[in-house]
Structure 1
Amino acid sequence: MEEGTTVVGRRAVLEALDAGAAVHKIWVQEGTSPAFLEVLKAKARARGVPVSVVPRARLQPFGAFRHQGVVAFLSPMPYADAEALLAGAEGKAAALWVVLDGLEDPHNVGAIIRTAAAAGAEAVILPKHQSAGLTPAAVKASAGAVFSLPVARTTNLVRFAERMKAAGFWLIGASPDGGTDWRAADYRGKVALVIGGEGRGLRPLLRRRLDVVVRLPMKGGVASLNASVAAALLLYEAYRQREGAPWPP
């Protein structure tokens, strides 16, 4: 997580406390629901985290994040270790990871992390540069999933993808000009779903390392889907196949 970050929003703050994140203080806006405040204080007390009720004006700097009257301040929390995650996947026959190729919108990053956690993914990999990280906006969009799903960064995503392939991962990317219908790909086994950045899509160097590039059919003159929507479709197709569930008749 970015140094000196904050977590905003009721659900995200409660999730941070439940997950044991390094929260060192919480501000709650005057007039907050007594029922919510009671729950929050109980969880914070169990973790030894002070809760202060503050005037509305104190939370104005966080207004862009729709804080819902609650802001938690966290000590620096490191990203997961990408090398350790890869080493841990070496002997596995099945795994589901998500690789984000330079997404710049933290809301998309957070939304994908949330969906990845819900669909049973085990890790999310980001490039260290030219990518949104775990900013307050991303943490809020993840609805607390960043505290339960490992998110790691790597300095060279193309090289890391090559090492993932050597470790047995099957890399599946998505692009409007992909050669395989998204429902025809095999998402079982050891799979990494690769989602390209907003606007530019998959970078050519990374795309050449992929085993399959799928397409999501579109009508109505739409050129592409939002990155988080495309990721959600692939993640839940992976979930369906891995659970052995049939398509509805």
Structure 2
Amino acid sequence: MRNPRSGRSSRHQRNQSSGGREGGGAPAGSCWLFGTHAVAAALANPRRVFQRLLVTEGDHPALLAAREAGARLTIEPELAQRAKLDELLGAEAVHQGVAALVKLLPNLTLDEALERPGPVLVLDQVTDPRNVGAILRSAAAFGAACLVVQDRNAPEETAVLAKAASGALETVPMVREVNLSRAIEALQKGGCWTVGLDAGGGLLDGPSFEGRRVALVLGAEGKGLRRLTRESCDEIAGLYMPGDMESLNVSVAAAVGLYELARVRMPSTYQPAATKKPT
């Protein structure tokens, strides 16, 4: 399978050098991360290269969580006032007293991502970084192999996306493809049964896919799947929704779809973790 990358580097540089308030004016090829979960996960990711690490306290929860996960810090944390982080990241950034300037994660090809087990998620022009971050979080929760996006119509790796992903950006690779229809074709050749999550087909029934590896394809809110993307899928299926709403937020739809697919892998002996009684 070929994995074209034409045009990504220059666009990535434009996005990151301009920075914006959420990027804190990060240089090309870098971005700012903030928030306890996002930074702790980055610290525990050996693929991450840190340039700066700012904390408001020496024993910040992000540092403690990373050490508990077995991470060895490769950079000396800098103590900074909360006002400094507000100025750097913007007053609306919920940074929780920690921020890190990091290099962008190295790219994975589709072939490399498919070596990981689990279903695949494909996003057709989903542009909201918070939605993409929430989808990454669900992908990590349900053991998805990767998230495939169209390079020119997907958000870049930013602090807002990482914060919404709550650490999942470090564990679920985002594979950027120039042509989404060709990417779907490559997934099919790689052994994936591609299911477009949209109205007009049957109902998504996880157990019916037993023995198959599924790639779930989701479209942008409002527009849904584009015609060519829809026609590229092996089948179209919707979610069972007996209530009054006709559609769901794309990140919620992704979570429900992934859970439906997970039912086929759920052991018969599975018991949910017992909840603690309030003291």
> Contact between 1:28 and 1:69, CA under 8 Å: does it hold in 2?
yes
Matches within 5 A, 1:21-60: 21-29=48-56, 32=57, 34=59, 36=61, 39=64, 46-60=72-86
For the 8 Å contact 1:9–1:67, the answer to whether it is kept is yes
Assess if the C-alpha contact under 8 Å between 2:40 and 2:62 holds in 1: no
- Could you list the per-position Cα deviations for residues 140-160 of structure 1 after superposition, in whole angstroms to 9, with x for gaps in the alignment? 111111212222100000111
Question: Given that residues 104 and 198 in structure 1 are in contact (C-alpha distance below 8 angstroms), is that contact kept between their aligned partners in structure 2?
Answer: no
Unaligned runs of 5+ in 2: 1-11, 17-28, 270-279
In 1, the alpha carbon distance for the partners of 2:122 and 2:84 equals 37
- Residues 93-124 of structure 1 show CA distances to partners (whole Å, capped at 9, x for unaligned) of x7411111111111111111111111111111
**Structure 1 counterpart SS, 2:30:** coil
Unaligned regions of 5+ residues in structure 1, if any? none
Aligned counterpart, 1:233:
256
Inter-CA distance 40–215: structure 2 relative to 1 (3 Å threshold) = closer
Task: Look up the match of 1:210.
Answer: 233
User: Structure 2 length as normaliser, TM-score?
Assistant: 0.76
**Structure 1's 127 and 67: CA in aligned 2 closer, same or farther, altered over 3 A?**
same
Count, aligned residues: 240
SS in 2 for 1:5: strand
CA distance in 2 between counterparts of 1:41 and 1:163 reads 37
2: CA distance, partners of 1:59 / 1:174: 40
Contact persistence 2:197–2:237 (CA under 8 A): yes
Name the aligned partner's letter for residue 57 of structure 1: A
Aligned equivalents of 1:16, 1:108: Cα separation in 2: 20
Whether the 8 Å CA contact 1:102–1:132 is kept in 2: the answer is no
Question: TM-score normalized by structure 1?
Answer: 0.85
Match of 2:43 in 1: 17
Is residue 179 of structure 1 aligned with residue 206 of structure 2? no
CA RMSD, Structure 1 to Structure 2 (Å): 2.9
- The offset of 1:42, in angstroms, is 5.6
- How far is the alpha carbon of 1:133 from its aligned partner? 2.8
Q: In the TM superposition, what whole-angstrom CA distance separates every residue of 1:179-231 from its partner, at most 9, and x where no partner exists?
A: 21223673432110111112211111010111221222446653310001000
- Once residues 162 and 41 of structure 1 are traced to their aligned partners in structure 2, the CA distance between those partners, rounded to angstroms, is 39
- Measure, in 1, the Cα distance between the counterparts of 2:193 and 2:160: 31
Distance 1:116 1:76, change over 3 A: closer
Identity rate of aligned residues, in percent? 32
Residue of structure 1 in register with 2:107 after alignment: 79
Instruction: Please say if 1:154 is aligned against 2:177.
Output: yes
Query: 1: CA distance between counterparts of 2:214 and 2:119?
Result: 5
